[in-house]
Structure 1
Amino acid sequence: MVRAPSPTVSAALLGGFAVLLTGLLSSGCSGSASAATTPASSGEAPVRVRLASVVTEEVARPVRASGTLAGKQEVRLSTKVGGVVQTVNSDEGRKVKRGQVLAALDLSEIGPLVAQAREAREKALRDLERVKALHAQQVATLAQLQDATTGYEVADAAWRAAAFNQRQATVLAPSDGRILKRMVEPGEVVSPGQPLFLFASADSGWVVRVGLADRDVVRVQEGDAAEVTLDAYPGRTFPARVSEVASAATPGVGTAEVELALDVRTSGAEAPRLLSGLSAKAVVTPSQRQAVQLVPVEALLEGDGEVASVFTLDGDGRTARRQRVRVAFLSGTDGRAALSEGPGGGTRVITDGVAFLRDGQAVAVVEAPSGGPTSRR
């Protein structure tokens, strides 16, 4: 005897068939959708772009560096002997004349030493004159005359040394100039050679000293032109020339010092008030030139250090091709990038629209002749 299926089992079977049918329909629909979108993606509209030609030129790669302003001849003035500072006659920033007394030590100790040496010299001179007279009368021997002569010469040398030290107890301005820094006050006890003033000669001029890395300093030589800007005078540019190039790197730093002679002569503009130690930025144009490929900066894409990318136009004139390049430097004057490795002179690179491209992208070149912009595919 055959029994009829229960309502519960029938409902379960029908539900399972419904789920299966829904899955089949869903997979079929999704497959149809994928097939429908593929042709659409392949038929996308080309990107409108503009081109620029790669130009090969020999240019001077600029060298950029930062440094400080200083007087050409800056001297640390000090005394040869130690002692107590008695007077200080000049302050920072003051102009001084050649031979002007800037500071002096108390001579209470040095003066008696000089007087003692002078008296010893005078006594030795009297002894020598007496022995000479006795020797002329054949009373004194030649050995006695030689001993008296030696005694006088020793005493005279000691007096001259004491007198020299006495003169060195006074600090004099070596030339017309300016006191850049004062490092002493009256009453201080100073040691021999301790700097008391930082002095800059008036006729020595101003220089900017910068430290250059090894790959840059080898391209710079004396006489190369430069431009200097000072943070204290924004917007003003001062011409300069390379006056000195160090022949050895600074120990512990690894850079070589280069000195730029600054030309502060102005044509109609107010003469700048310069101070030693001002921050400066310099751009040196070496006389050494190198062949590079020049492209507009906007043609570069995804720069990473010296490596970047550009898009060039394929041979069919309708496809963009991505190419890796190596950037030598960027020109801040004409908005171009110098490439040490690139697509080659005469090649046309894409400038406008480069941000929307991928390798193999279809493009439409937009040109701008004199009659107005047109497009071609």
Structure 2
Amino acid sequence: MSTAYPSLRPTTYLSAALLPLLAACSESAANKTADPANASPAIPVSVAQVSDASASAPVTVTGTFGSRDEIPLAFKIGGVVARVLVDEGATVQRGQLLAALDLREIDAAVAKAQVGVDKAQRDHARLERLAADSVATLAQLQDVTSALDAARADLTTARVNREYATIVAPEAGIVLRRQGTPGSTVSAGQQVLSLGGSQRGRVLRAGLTDRDAMRVRTGDKASVHFDAVPDRTFNGTVVLLGRAADARTGTFTVEVSLSGADALPSGLVGQLTVQVRPTQQASAANATARHAIPVDALIEADKDSATVFTVKGGAEPIAQAVRVRVAQLQGDHATVDGLDADAQVITRGAPYVTHGARVRIITQATLDSASPAATANKGNAP
């Protein structure tokens, strides 16, 4: 047994000698980790506060400018067009004669109906005298009375047709389209002219998808930009929102009245932007799920999802990666699901950040102070 101890004693003494050295190394390593100068530098980034998507994502759609009331004008009966007195773009007044049929056949029908009334009146007068003398029966008198009533009705019909053999402007407005020409034969109700009425003004009319139609309300403020008038933007207000979808397009009609657009011609195509007012229900939903952020904050996009880095912490902020769903892209902003209402997203510098990395927030004031002009002014200061 005594022979085993000499072999163990040197090992025991060596371990005891190494203990102070190992402790010093451990203390040095701990100090090195705690030293901020030896830690990885913070990445400079810019951040942006998320905003309510309903307030920052306006509805944008293309529409056509024109009269709110477009009145199709036609003859009540068919015939040959004798005159069309206006052209497209003409300004007309209420009661002005616009077009007329050849009246010869129509006047003849009125004359014929008048002759029928005259004969029925004579027959009725004669039967009244015969019935008074008991020569004619009561039934015969009733028959001629009915014949007189029918003749008078025919005359009324002929006169109405004669009245509607001409087209007069039902209200002041502008002739939008002219389909009829003198000498052409038209059927009853076939459109000859289209009048843009001025009684209810002119509007920009567009079609909204069901999703946008649920966000827009009457009274919302809007702006319209026409490519034909590139140096001007027209302000307006939503005056009508359709409550039923168009059977052909599936869209809901929206009408926006514009101020200062009286001189514009009908038919102009404009870009309509409606500033949507958030409802209480939409605001509550967006506060927990849907928000608007700058497009610069999106990285690693895949179909409708992307990664966004948010900033957590106060004095030493840390970047955290959050996967979000992109609901809509509008200009330089994106509407996303999956962020907290009070989140700050990294915009400038986002591609260089990793999850858990230390970041240093750079504000616009810091950038301005670091600009060459600011540095030069600082050097010239007394």
Question: Same fold, TM exceeding 0.5?
Answer: yes
Correspondence 1:299 to 2:297: yes
- TM-score, normalization: structure 2? 0.74
Equivalent position to 2:270, from 280, 290, 296: 280
8 Å contact kept, 1:78–1:194:
yes
Cα RMSD, aligned residues only: 3.1
Structure-1 residue corresponding to 2:307:
309
Task: Measure the CA separation in 1 of the matches of 2:132 and 2:182.
Answer: 56
Matched residue SS, 2:200: coil
Contact 2:54–2:277, Cα closer than 8 Å, also in 1: no
Give ranges in structure 1 of 5+ residues lacking alignment: 1-41, 266-270
Task: Provide the residue aligned with 2:136 in structure 1.
Answer: 140
Match of 2:17 in 1: none
Deviation at residue 115 of structure 1 after TM alignment: 1.2
CA distance in 1 between partners of 2:185 and 2:133 (Å)? 55
Instruction: Call closer, same or farther: CA 1:56–1:234 in 2, change over 3 Å.
Output: closer
Given the alignment of the two structures, is residue 250 of structure 1 paired with residue 246 of structure 2, yes or no? Answer: yes
Structure with the bigger percentage of helix: 2
Q: Conserved in 2, the CA contact under 8 Å of 1:302 and 1:308?
A: yes
Distance 1:339 1:78, change over 3 A: same
Asked if 1 retains the 8 angstrom alpha-carbon contact of 2:175 and 2:193, the reply is: yes
Q: Does structure 1 residue 64 correspond to structure 2 residue 60?
A: yes
**In 1, distance between residues paired with 2:99 and 2:364?**
75
In structure 2, the partner of 1:128 is 124
The alignment status of 1:97 with 2:93, answered yes or no, reads: yes
Q: Which residue of 2 aligns with 1:162?
A: 158
- Say whether the 8 Å CA contact 2:226–2:271 is kept in structure 1: yes
Cα displacement string for residues 46-103 of structure 1 (whole angstroms, at most 9, x for unaligned residues): 5322334445687374221111112111111111111111111111111112222111
Residues 318 and 220 of structure 1, relative CA distance in 2, 3 Å threshold: closer
SS at match of 1:73: strand
1:200 to 2:161 alignment: no
Report how many aligned residue pairs link the two structures: 323
CA distance in structure 1 between the partners assigned to 2:334 and 2:221 by the alignment:
21
Match of 1:173 among 155, 169, 175: 169
What CA deviation, in whole Å up to 9, does each residue of 1:225-258 have, x standing for no partner?
Answer: 3222222222423233333322322224222222
Call closer, same or farther: CA 1:128–1:302 in 2, change over 3 Å: farther
What is the SS of the residue equivalent to 1:287? coil
Which one is further off, 292-301 or 109-118?
Answer: 292-301
Question: Alpha-carbon deviation of 1:196?
Answer: 0.7
Distance 1:128 1:286 in 2: 72
Equivalences for 1:203-222 in 2 at 5 Å? 203-222=199-218
In structure 1, C-alpha distance between the alignment counterparts of 2:56 and 2:125, rounded to whole Å: 77
Structure 1 pair 263/300, CA: closer, same or farther in 2 (3 Å)? same
Q: Out of 280-289 and 119-128, give the one that drifted further.
A: 280-289
- Aligned in 2, Cα 1:159/1:279: closer, same or farther, shift over 3 Å? same
**Pick aligned residue for 2:45 from 41, 49, 58:** 49
**1:150 paired to 2:149:** no
Show CA shifts across 1:118-164 (max 9, x none).
10111101211222233334443322221111010111111111121
Q: Structure 2 CA distance, aligned partners of 1:101 and 1:372?
A: 74
Structure 2, gaps ≥5 residues long: 1-37, 371-382
Please point out which of 331, 338, 341 is paired with 2:338. 341
Does 1:264 pair with 2:259? yes
Q: Answer whether contact 2:174 2:195 (CA < 8 A) is retained.
A: yes
- Say whether the 8 Å CA contact 2:204–2:258 is kept in structure 1: no
Q: Does 1:78 align with 2:74?
A: yes
Which one-letter code corresponds to 1:341 in the other structure? G
Matches within 5 A, 1:313-332: 313=311, 317=316, 319-327=318-326
More displaced stretch, 237-246 vs 169-178: 237-246
Shift of 1:285: 2.9
Change (3 A) 1:132 1:231: farther
Greater shift, 50-59 or 180-189, is seen at 50-59
Deviation at 1:214, TM superposition (A): 1.4
Give the conservation status (yes or no) of the 8 Å contact 1:93–1:178. yes
Report the identity percentage.
39
- Name the TM-score, length of structure 1 as normaliser: 0.75
User: What amino acid maps onto 2:160 in structure 1?
Assistant: F
